[in-house]
Amino acid sequence: MTAVRPEPRIANRIVFILSLLGGAIALYLTLAHMNYLALTCGEIPGCAEVAAHPSARGFGIRGLEYIPTAAFGLAMYALMAALSFYRAIVTEGTLHKLARTIQRLMATIAVGVFAYLTYLEAYVIRAWCQWCVATSVVTVLLFLTLMLERSSPRSDSIS
């Protein structure tokens, strides 16, 4: 079991790459919602239906509808990447641990939010958007990486 738990340094790299990947998708969806880019839906039908659903703007909450839901994801991924970058600079100590704790907390909330959005796609809108599914997968991977990360590096890996 311990074999699959990544070293903090490796885990941080994975989190950084996943955050950039998720951020890129969220940026694309945000720009598409703001009509700066065409939303390409590919082979999966119903993607445009998901994009037109009220939950695609401000999670469907009154007062937040001016902000595309993807923009919240973009902010989350940007903060996640910034915290990873910080952890690459400050490799130990209280602030390093605090950054990781914030990342874990954000990832937990994000998994909950994505579970809700996936539920909406499956049971309310009854249509799928591959971009939303892709960001959900990225978020789950982020969550798993952060949760499985070793709390301290192996003694033989310290140089």
Give per-residue burial for 14-23: e unless 16+ CB within 10 Å, then b. bbbbbbebbb
Could you say which residues in the range 95-154 bind another protein, by CB under 8 A? Answer: 124-127
- 3 vs 38, beta carbon nearer another protein: 38
| C-alpha 20 chain-centroid distance | 9
Q: Which residues pair with 57 in a beta bridge?
A: 68
Q: How far is the CB of 136 from another protein (least distance, A)?
A: 20
Give dist(CA 154, CA 40) in Å, integer. Answer: 45
Q: How far is the CB of 109 from another protein (least distance, A)?
A: 23
Amino acid at 23: G
Is position 39 an interface residue for another protein (rule: CB under 8 A)? yes
What residues make contact with another protein under the rule CB under 8 A? 9, 13, 16-17, 20-21, 24, 27-28, 31-32, 35-49, 51-54, 57-58, 60, 62, 65-66, 81, 84-85, 88-89, 91, 124-127, 159
